[in-house]
Amino acid sequence: MKIAIIGTTACGVLGFRKELIESLVNSGHQVHVFALHYTEQQRMLVSKMGAVPAVYNINRTGLNPVADIMETLKLMRQLKAIQPDLVFSYFSKPVIFGTIAARLAGVKKIIAMLEGLGFMFTEQPEGLSKKTKLLQRIQVFLYKISFVFLHKLIFLNPDDPHDLLVKNNIKVKRMVVLGGIGLDLAQYPYVKPHSGAVSFLFIGRLLKEKGINEFIEAAKQVKQRYPEATFTVLGGIDEGNPGAFKHSELAQLVDAGVIVYPGLVDNVAEYIAHASVFVLPSYREGVPRSTQEAMAIGRPIITTDVPGCRETVVDGVNGFLIKPWDAQGLAEKMIYFIQHPYQIEPMGLASYQMAQDKFDATKVNTRLIKLLGA
């Protein structure tokens, strides 16, 4: 088959779709990988996989209908030139406009995957703003237009189809829940947790919705009672996002000794291996990759009982589920591990086993390729 994959950034393609692309190529398919921008090195890496890099353009976050229509027509012409048997898109705007472009190009099989519903469907402690509610209605309208052309829609967790399709009365021909997209587990081998002071690790963009505020507040509370505990934050600052942390705030926290902040790193597995417990107090996820990585390496998880996150924890077995927006509850679970350090290894082993069973990219991609009919 000739397959067109439509994603967002080339960095995301190489980080999260590499195993899928290689599996499709090794099965004899011709794969065209559409991304918003490629560096020469990224083009070379995609070509080395045996796939064809292709650039398209669409504003990932903006709402300019004229520009979106023009770019959709350009993408349609690109697809017409390739004449793929299958178009597979993921993330909200590629799903909406990639699906429409594929339909206009006469593609016979169109499949999409939503790895999460995004901030517009993420509950906030103060409730959704009027602007967010308006954006949500616009996105639902666009989903209703585009989903009629889909042959199959794939979700990662069972909450998302209910919150999107059922609550908004959106019809699709077929819906499937895949589970987490999985990891190359060889890159995240099990490492026995260290002895000594208990350390906690947060990985994610430093946004309100990722739970960074609750992590910081809990760290402050725990530090007052157990100053030897350490709290490490990995992730970038999205300066254009209104819910983002500021550099000045981070500097103050680092200077005060509340957190350690190495920033964006390319050796995430090493940081996980040096941590005792992984923490992600996110408000909503698809199925978070960072948590899967921590589970594969064998770390207990503290995360929120919300869509996507709850798929990674059996409460009391491989970690704990807490209520969203609850820094006090998070601090209590952190203190549990400080007071019961002998639970870190067995709970981490339970995480490791869950990762082997649920998040092996080889197994997940086998299921996904079957769903694609490739």
**What are the pLDDT digits (tens) for 118-153?**
989 999 999 999 999 999 999 999 999 999 999 999
For residue 324, name the pLDDT band (cuts at 50, 70, 90).
very high
User: Any idea which residue has 């709850």 for tokens?
Assistant: 310
Are residues 15 and 113 part of one domain?
yes
Residues 233 and 339 in one domain: yes
The pLDDT assigned to 242 comes to 66
Do 234 and 166 share a structural domain? no
Q: Are residues 205 and 299 in the same domain?
A: yes
Interatomic CA distance for residues 74 and 81, integer angstroms: 11
87, 39: one domain:
yes
Q: Are residues 75 and 116 in the same domain?
A: yes
196-221 average pLDDT score = 96
| Confidence grade of residue 203 (pLDDT, cut at 50, 70, 90) | very high
Q: What is the mean pLDDT of the chain?
A: 94
Q: What is the CATH number of the domain that holds 240?
A: 3.40.50.2000
Asked if residue 59 has pLDDT above 80, the reply is no
| Count: domains in the chain | 2
Q: Residue 77's domain spans which residues?
A: 2-182+360-372
Residues 327 and 211 in one domain: yes
191 and 133: one domain?
Answer: no
Residues 178, 201, single domain; the answer is no
Whether residue 86 sits in one domain with residue 39: yes
Q: Is the pLDDT of residue 57 over 70?
A: yes
For 303, list phi and psi in degrees, rounded to 5: -150, 175
> Which residues does residue 212 pair with via DSSP β-bridges, in sequence order?
none
Same-domain check for residues 246 and 365: no
**For 335-362, what is each residue's pLDDT tens digit?**
999 999 999 999 999 999 999 999 999 9
Same domain, 328 and 206: yes
Instruction: Look up the pTM and report it.
Output: 0.92
Exposed e or buried b for every residue in 275-305, given b needs 16+ CB within 10 A? bbbbbbbbbbbbbbbbbbbbbbbbbbbbbbe
pLDDT tens per residue, range 235-276: 988 776 766 788 888 999 999 999 999 988 989 999 999 999
pLDDT in tens, 97-119: 999 999 999 999 999 999 999 98
